[in-house]
Structure 1
């Protein structure tokens, strides 16, 4: 079977990358932008860094800000209506995964209106037309939504998050500018950075992994292991390297899938509003330990990326434990509490585990995880 690999048409990286936005808009013949960004980014002037450039270039735009941290069906449907009323011809998505995911869903429904209920987009969507062109400007170093074919929408009515996978939704241009991430507080930097690490590790060991995706994932793990602590301290080099690392991880996992860590994290966010990055980080060492015996020699590479002594000489079982310990230590060093105590009520465990087992990410796990397996992992963290 052939392996498919999909990436952006174009991406810009490094300080000042956003200055290319007006050039790309004009070069592609767009006339009016629909700027999708969350209220906090607007409040604190982050979105303005881009709209100032649009103003200077004489490019017309409207701003849409009905975006929540875990975007809902209602956010998307309101956005579809707002886009139609705006008369725009391009979406400029500014923010983290929430802004990107909302923009992808809006763009898909705009060109594929038969999916206006939003719920029908779940899973491997059967859309037929590329979405409205999206220019993506990440403000967090974690989700890599600017280079993936995935997005996640929350269904509050049914208390669940659902994953949509659609090659038609990938942004045409990404602008990965560390200056757009400089205002991230330490806690958000840590959580999104650990989310990127989860992408890289899950993508590296997932059932669909192969040589091309492995190349991206192991490099991302190396960069995150070396730079996340510095990024949390707001070191400019650390921030720039994390911006690159999360994008590289996205190039990989978007094409090969994830695993049960993300499946469990999605349920935690849907049930309790737990930030996605924190959920992934909290679960990661436990899920890594569960998967260890189904990963061949790959934990040696992960250990080596963390500069673990003896990564290629010590017994494999020992190295696997050391790799898990190194990941857990990084999480603790950047302030992630590796516990679900006080988060998950015992009466929710059965339903939570059952929903995680049904999540679209679960089949990518390197070994099967039953409802009982997932339940045991949740309980071990409580």
Structure 2
């Protein structure tokens, strides 16, 4: 099998790397970036700090801080206006997954036009698009390293998976110092998100030798550091390890795929406004239990990398230990069920058939070791609710 690989051209990793952002952009021959971020990072002074590094490098940036959690097609309109008004030659995504996803979408729409729905999966988008430079401030999405963006259709509440080299950042600047202020809940949710990326990349039907190595390394690192950084957010060593693991997991799934957890997670986020990492965490143990019998060797490898099983455990036993370990991890990180999170049971039941349809429509479940039916997805939604 020939694997088609896509990676950022430039990656700067390490504490303090954000101070080199201006040099990275200038070195690419760009001069008029649109800095895409959110109101929170404006309020913390982070956006001002990044703008200053760009100005010191002789660039002419413009700030757009109108991104929203789980970006929508409506939220992109003001960004496009800012992009065209500035005559931007590049886009910098600064923030969590939402600003980075917004930046990717704006970079493509700013050149090609049309509606975001025109670019959703299964279409593979090759461009053209403006260059994107990604600067993550959370650990989890891996969007700085992926050829994927997720935008919610404001008219239908469908979370649209959009993919292809057009969305691949040309550069990523990965600085763990930007994550030191993350609260425990966000630390937990984004950490499980990164772990989900790595495990799904490894068990995916599209897995390959390149993505395998990145996935197993990320799983091992997350296994050693996630509880530690959840307990102490000021642990700079653990923060840096988790930041690198999230980027590796992003590279892994971008060059393999995600699977059933992500396919089922996106509709939960769209209809009930649950953060992406949290909805992944709600699903992760149950979906793994559903899938594990179809690829016990692959799941056993994940269990050993995570530290949940040893090399002496048989494949089936090791794979079962992974399911147990995920339940224990979600318990330790206080991951709520949808019911405990406050989601109305009647609304959950009413929307379950639509969510199952949207999950299948995204294409991600087709990469799962067990390709589910709509009825099986509905049963999984019912099982995880309480």
Q: What is the distance in 2 between the residues matched to 1:353 and 1:340?
A: 18
User: Paired residue for 2:295?
Assistant: 295
- Please report how far the alpha carbon of residue 178 of structure 1 lies from its aligned counterpart in structure 2 after TM superposition: 0.4
Does residue 7 of structure 1 match 2:1? no
Q: What is the match of residue 140 of structure 1?
A: 138
**Aligned equivalents of 2:148, 2:26: Cα separation in 1:** 27
Work out the CA distance in 1 between the residues paired with 2:179 and 2:278: 18
Alignment correspondent of 1:84? 84
Cα pair distance change 1:339/1:315, threshold 3 Å: farther
Partners of 2:212 and 2:277 in 1: how far apart?
22
Give 1:126 shift: 5.2
3-state DSSP of counterpart to 1:74: coil
Structure 2 counterpart of 1:62: 62
Rounded Cα–Cα distance in structure 1 between residues aligned with 2:280 and 2:127: 32
2:26–2:57 contact (8 Å) kept in structure 1: no
**What is the SS of the residue equivalent to 1:267?**
helix
Residues of 1 paired with 2:125 and 2:261: CA distance?
A: 27
CA RMSD of aligned residues (A): 1.6
Q: Which runs of 5+ in 2 are unaligned?
A: none
CA deviation map 1:281-318 (0-9, x unaligned): 11000010011011131222222123235x33234333
Q: Residue in 1 aligned with 2:222? A: 224
Task: Report how many residues are paired.
Answer: 379
Q: 1:365 maps to which residue?
A: 368
Question: What are structure 1's unaligned runs of at least 5 residues?
Answer: none
Q: Map of 1:1-382 to 2, 5 A cutoff?
A: 1-113=1-113, 116-125=114-123, 127-232=125-230, 233-234=232-233, 235-309=235-309, 311-341=310-340, 342-343=342-343, 344=345, 345-382=348-385
Contact 1:93 1:137 in 2 (8 A): yes
TM-score (norm 2): 0.94
Provide the TM-score with structure 1 as the length reference: 0.95
CA distance in 2, matches of 1:339, 1:272: 9
> How much has 1:176 moved relative to structure 2?
0.4
Distance 2:358 2:169 in 1: 30
* CA offsets 1:122-161 (integer angstroms, 9 cap, x no match): 0144545332111110001100101100000001311210
Q: CA deviation at 1:360?
A: 2.7
In structure 2, how many angstroms separate the alpha carbons of the residues matched to 1:126 and 1:358? 15
Any idea what the Cα deviations from partners look like across 1:332-380, whole Å, max 9, x if unmatched? 2222224545425322222222222222312111111111111111111
Whole-Å separation in 1 of the counterparts to 2:218 and 2:23: 29
Q: Secondary structure at the residue paired with 2:326?
A: helix
